[in-house]
């Protein structure tokens, strides 16, 4: 399905945001900068691949939320399409785009990772950060990411994941997963996301596992994976 033309204004579809949506958007606007600060170095290194000089002109960020990533790649590409199911995020994303000096490049669409409102092979890169922990069907979301990527396009990912089965933290993740779902608006701490990406049919996957220095209960989202897959 072709996407609407125009930039800088959200394309509304579906239901208006609920009170829960608005509260979660506000919560992410408050905690997002703290998470970004912890991951700044890794994001800078990861998003260096997103540059028009590398043939990356159009980037689709799925689950853009309040747009904390725009400062890292926005100035270096020609067009950014941000997609999120929560329309309450749009106002925060537009402010982030203004702060990053890329508002004229940004187009916001309402949609879900499992059914992206975009044409086949319409993107040079797809970005997901802390998104695959939330989507109900990871496999479907990854199929969609591959569909909208051009051949040779890049899938950039950074996600918190399940700890190794023998790790004591894995038990805490299972115990606290319901609470994580409430706080994280459907998020899960027990996803084996890298394995899902490796099984999604990309021609190559490069990834690194790492762990943030967090105390319980926040430590249940400490294990991470970040990397790049090629369509």
Question: What are the boundaries of each domain within the chain?
Answer: 10-230
Q: Report the run of H or E that residue 223 belongs to, with start and end.
A: strand 223-230
- pLDDT at residue number 5: 39
- pLDDT at residue number 79: 97
- pLDDT at residue number 183: 84
pLDDT < 70 stretches in the chain: 1-15
Give the C-alpha separation, 37 to 32, whole Å.
9
What does pTM read for this prediction?
0.90
Distances (CA, A) of 178 to 13, 134, 171: 29, 13, 13
CATH class of domain segment(s) 10-230: alpha beta
- pLDDT at residue number 18: 86
């Amino acid at each position: 399905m072709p996407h609407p033309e125009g930039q800088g204004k959200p394309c509304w579809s579906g239901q208006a945001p609920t009170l829960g949506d608005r509260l979660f958007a506000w919560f992410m606007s408050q905690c997002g900068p703290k998470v970004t600060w912890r991951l700044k170095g890794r994001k800078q290194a990861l998003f260096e691949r997103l540059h028009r000089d590398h043939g990356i002109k159009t980037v689709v960020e799925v689950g853009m939320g309040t747009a904390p990533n725009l400062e890292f790649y926005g100035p270096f590409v020609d067009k950014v399409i941000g997609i999120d199911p929560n329309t309450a995020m749009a106002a925060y994303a537009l402010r982030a785009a203004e702060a990053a000096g890329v508002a004229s490049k940004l187009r916001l669409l309402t949609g879900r990772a499992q059914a992206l409102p975009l044409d086949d092979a319409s993107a040079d890169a797809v970005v997901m950060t802390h998104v695959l922990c939330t989507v109900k069907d990871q496999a479907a979301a990854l199929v969609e990411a591959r569909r909208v990527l051009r051949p040779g396009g890049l899938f950039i990912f950074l996600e918190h994941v399940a700890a190794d089965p023998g790790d004591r933290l894995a038990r805490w993740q299972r115990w606290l997963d319901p609470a994580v779902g409430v706080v994280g608006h459907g998020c899960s701490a027990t996803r084996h996301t890298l394995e899902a990406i490796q099984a999604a049919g990309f021609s190559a996957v490069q990834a690194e596992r790492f762990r943030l220095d967090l105390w319980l209960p926040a430590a249940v989202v400490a294990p991470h994976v970040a990397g790049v897959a090629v369509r």
